[in-house]
Structure 1
Amino acid sequence: MAQLWGGRFTRQTDKLAYAFNASFSFDRRLLPQDIQGSCAHAKMLEKQGILTQQECTDILRGLQSILADAENSTLPMTDEYEDVHSFVEANLIARIGDTGKKLHTGRSRNDQVALDMKLYVRDEIGNIDSELKELLETLLKLMKENADTFMPGFTHLQKAQPTTLAHHMGAYFEMFRRDRGRLSDVKKRLNLCPLGAGALAGTTYPLDRAYTAELLAFDGPTRNSMDSVSDRDYLLEFLSALSMVMMHLSRFCEEVILWNSNEYRFVEIDDRYSTGSSIMPQKKNPDIAELVRGKTGRVYGALSALMTTMKGIPLAYDKDMQEDKELTFDAADTVKGCVRLFADMLRTMHFNKERMADSARHGFTNATDAADYLVKHGVPFRDAHSMVGKLVLYGIQHQKALDDFTLEEFQAVSPVFQDDIYDAISLTTCVEKRNTAGAPGQKAMAEEIAEAESYLQAN
């Protein structure tokens, strides 16, 4: 078919070069955004007297019919078109005649695609935010149900101090809350409309860019026409925010994988989110968690690739920027799928509460509290630290938890220990007396849960 730019050329593009240059195979997903932007552009052209009322009506009718037929899969979307813009224009002209040729007045594919991508990212931010909110609701439910589910907290993958499952889930709640904030920040910065910037230097037509921006729910028009068509910062920010989401998911998946192992046995993943082995009948593998962890690199790769693409591009638009689409589309799809699947897996996961509490009790996680007991009875902390270290070494040698020591064994290290040491180092006491803001104690966790609930209701 004839190209939008064919008048200056005397020879057909080489078939391989045409296929290499074309983007319709992947940018066709921008059809809703392209038509949304074209409708706004047509309305603005009518307002400015560049189109008649009838011409605008015909164009809007034609555009909406294209979208409806595409959504109903009754409109062939074949690779004879160079890109989504030429597809829409060709079909519009076929439906309403020469009036369709007037739609492109005062715009370029450069500002058109910049608009389409901004509209797409804005839509995807909303979709991903909804998925993250559902994940946060799942985490909040687990927090409410597990304020007294004891488990070991870790540093360096070594058992450190006792905490609760609610406290542990609360840490991830904060991570994904920040992810929503980052996406919101991206949306604020991208929300200026590039349409009307033309190829790079605006246009001589009396366009009302503020009106177009208003129709498309932007905060206003972009301020510099060269930057308007060459800016992909919002995509880099978007991919960066998505990379953070995946990093948080990957950390969580790593813990689920560890907790699901035979050595930990803290959780059992529902059969719907596990797979087996083709040769080992006993296996139940955490494949979903492993795949989410693996797909993190895929999203990182999109960010790295686009950063590399953009680093050497002079002003204003260059064809290199076409590489932004497949990277962004794939990253957004990957994140949406990962967040949704992970939330479903987490929602159906069984937590072995007795095993978690027993792991905390036998991991000397209450050693710090034993040292604090001595400090409260007048022993300098450094001496108390050394004394409890000796108790831990004795416990390792004799395979005993601190809770199982006799009073004589405690007093063999220090006569300061008395019968009340057992209450002081119980998991309940160790957790409950930690009630500073953000700590795992019941009072602190109740406040954290109430705040999280208010946040979700408001956002």
Structure 2
Amino acid sequence: MPNDDVPAPRSGDAGGLTGRIASGPDALLRDEVLEPQLRFEIEALLPGYIQLEKVLLLEYRRLGLLDGAQLGAVATLLDQVTPDAVAEEAGESMSDIAFTLERYVSRRLAEVPPAWHVDRSRNDLQATAQLMYGRGRLLDSAEALVAFGRTAHRLASRGVDLAMPGYTHMQPAQVISPGFYFAGLCDQVLHTLERMEAVHRTADASPMGAGAMAGQELPWDRSRMAGLLGFSHVRTHALRAVAQRDWALEACAEFSLLGVALSRFVTDLMTWGGAGYGFIDLPDQWSGISSAMPQKKNFPVLERVRARTAHLSAAYTDISTGQRNTPYSNSVEVSKEANSGVPAAFDALGSVLRLFGAVLENLEFREDRMRDACAAEYLGGFTLANLLTLRAAVPWRTAQVVAGRYIVRAVEAGLPPAEPDGGLLEALLAEEGHRTGEAVALLTEAMSVPGGLTAKSSDGSTHPDAVRALLAEQSSAFDEAAERWQTRRKGIEEAAAGLDRLLDGPEGRRS
């Protein structure tokens, strides 16, 4: 992602970097590929590269290849690196951020330590810098998910006792509550947070010290380096460490899966907000109008949110096809081109969660419309069949047939659910060789709108007590998830602070 505020790198050649080629990149290659990539890396990866260089200094010191004065001189210059300075130097370093940092420091040292950057490759350096960036974006995404989930949770808590129709096959089916429905959204978010734990485990393995592909020739302490960078463990196999970008592939996969689910919730809101339903409303500042039809109040923000969930699926397709059929080793195709859409995927997820969260925060339930819609439909048919079996000993399948026939006849006669015809039900039962003696009472209980909520008694059901119990569990789960991710962020910050203390301590520049 280019940053126009960063100056364009100067042109130059490859002198001093390699004996293999004599000139720097062609101008077209710079303009189309290298400079846009460098701008993104300056904006997003530069802090990670500087931190990695500091960890390398401590390793060179531990290996006895740098003394304290040499380490201190390099570390001091690394602290002076700015985005503008990197952009200024990059043209003479093949527009490569690793080469640029090396040249920046080398030019300002009175004498370059001979062993500085010995036994080093850009491959694991680049893989780790990208991972550090991705790890930070993953933390941001998890925290955004928690915030979104809590917003959905607040909305669900407001609708526990409200009745609305639930739909199957696009037809009114049973009485549910908005609280029950949006508790389902909370459950979906918590499910994604659980799956992101696995993504974090992948992103918590450091590639540093893997070298170009086959490992390093010096005895680098990879576990120590990982700890200094805030990782919990090492990506052990050297080839896999540099060949694969699992963290990006897995993160985009989870975003895609979440996007599919969120699009379905948004589709329901789009339906419920239509004039034929009118179950929900949004304030004017979150609404739109028609230029030609003044009677219309539209909710285009929902269309925006649903459309943006498609970007999440597209991002996964992009990165997966970008890696597919490539050789299993480090390559620009995998490390840069296949990953080019990953920052946009994180951005798209953040946008979806912010916009959808704002919708949920401002959503208003139209209780009368929801209640009237329930009362107009025979949503208690299932309950009626159950009551006929449990109270009148009518076999279950027969009870289903009788209930269905009653509803057909009542609709034909223009009877609303709230006006039970006990004689009709008794006559239908008699045709099947049964009777109840309490037909009106059964019909009244079955077709009650409030009773549609309280008739359910299983865990996870739409019964208000069950919904409240579930929401209480979900509240704790969101708190626990928030604490886990906050602890991880704190650990990374503490590792960075600890790294600077080591550089200033006995192991570092003051030795």
- Aligned partners of 1:191 and 1:326: how far apart in 2? 21
1:301 match? 314
Percent identity, aligned pairs only? 24
| Worse-matched range after superposition: 402-411 or 117-126 | 402-411
Question: 1:187-206, aligned counterparts within 5 Å?
Answer: 187-206=200-219
Q: Is the 8 A contact 2:164 2:175 kept in 1?
A: yes
Q: Is the 8 A contact 1:194 1:228 kept in 2?
A: yes
| Worse-matched range after superposition: 129-138 or 357-366 | 357-366
2:479 match? 457
Residue 408 to residue 96, structure 1, CA distance change in 2 (3 Å): farther
Residue 89 to residue 424, structure 1, CA distance change in 2 (3 Å): same
Residue 384 to residue 317, structure 1, CA distance change in 2 (3 Å): same
Q: Is the 8 A contact 2:13 2:23 kept in 1?
A: no
Q: CA deviation at 1:76?
A: 5.3
Question: 1:9-24, aligned counterparts within 5 Å?
Answer: 9-22=21-34, 23-24=37-38
SS of corresponding position for 1:420: helix
RMSD: 2.5
Correspondence 1:113 to 2:126: yes
Q: CA deviation at 1:176?
A: 0.6
| Worse-matched range after superposition: 288-297 or 113-122 | 288-297
1:209 match? 222
- Aligned partners of 2:114 and 2:428: how far apart in 1? 92
- Aligned partners of 2:164 and 2:480: how far apart in 1? 31
Q: Is the 8 A contact 1:93 1:100 kept in 2?
A: no
1:52 match? 67
| Worse-matched range after superposition: 328-337 or 48-57 | 48-57
- Aligned partners of 1:281 and 1:300: how far apart in 2? 36
2:460 match? 438
Gaps in structure 2 of 5+ consecutive residues: 1-11, 430-434, 482-511
State the aligned residue count: 455
Q: Deviations over 1:157-209 (max 9, x none)?
A: 21111111111111111111011111111111232211111111222233221
User: Which of these residues, 15, 23, 40, is aligned with residue 55 of structure 2?
Assistant: 40
SS of corresponding position for 2:379: coil
Which one-letter code corresponds to 1:358 in the other structure? D
Q: Which has the higher contact order (CA 8 A, sep 6+)?
A: 2
Q: Is the 8 A contact 1:122 1:187 kept in 2?
A: yes
Q: CA deviation at 1:78?
A: 9.3
Q: Is the 8 A contact 2:461 2:467 kept in 1?
A: yes
Q: CA deviation at 1:229?
A: 0.7
2:383 match? 369
User: Which of these residues, 432, 439, 451, is aligned with residue 429 of structure 1?
Assistant: 451
Correspondence 1:235 to 2:248: yes
| Worse-matched range after superposition: 218-227 or 156-165 | 218-227
Q: Deviations over 1:220-251 (max 9, x none)?
A: 22212111110122221111011122122211
Question: 1:68-147, aligned counterparts within 5 Å?
Answer: 69-70=82-83, 80=91, 82-93=95-106, 96=109, 99=112, 104-147=117-160
Q: Deviations over 1:396-432 (max 9, x none)?
A: 4345432233434444534635331213331222221
Q: CA deviation at 1:79?
A: 7.8
SS of corresponding position for 1:7: coil
1:335 match? 349
2:364 match? 350
- Aligned partners of 1:425 and 1:331: how far apart in 2? 47
Residue 292 to residue 406, structure 1, CA distance change in 2 (3 Å): same
- Aligned partners of 2:301 and 2:88: how far apart in 1? 34
Q: Is the 8 A contact 1:59 1:100 kept in 2?
A: no
User: Which of these residues, 265, 277, 280, is aligned with residue 264 of structure 1?
Assistant: 277
Question: 1:128-167, aligned counterparts within 5 Å?
Answer: 128-167=141-180
Q: Is the 8 A contact 1:240 1:303 kept in 2?
A: yes
Q: CA deviation at 1:140?
A: 1.9
Residue 418 to residue 446, structure 1, CA distance change in 2 (3 Å): same
Q: CA deviation at 1:96?
A: 4.9
1:8 match? 20
Q: CA deviation at 1:145?
A: 2.1
- Aligned partners of 1:259 and 1:157: how far apart in 2? 12
Residue 58 to residue 150, structure 1, CA distance change in 2 (3 Å): farther
Residue 165 to residue 74, structure 1, CA distance change in 2 (3 Å): farther
Q: Is the 8 A contact 1:277 1:283 kept in 2?
A: yes
Residue 83 to residue 9, structure 1, CA distance change in 2 (3 Å): closer
Residue 57 to residue 311, structure 1, CA distance change in 2 (3 Å): same
Q: Is the 8 A contact 2:420 2:440 kept in 1?
A: no
| Worse-matched range after superposition: 391-400 or 186-195 | 391-400
Q: CA deviation at 1:99?
A: 4.2
Q: CA deviation at 1:101?
A: 9.1
Which one-letter code corresponds to 1:438 in the other structure? G
Q: Is the 8 A contact 1:193 1:220 kept in 2?
A: yes
Q: TM-score, normalised by structure 2?
A: 0.82
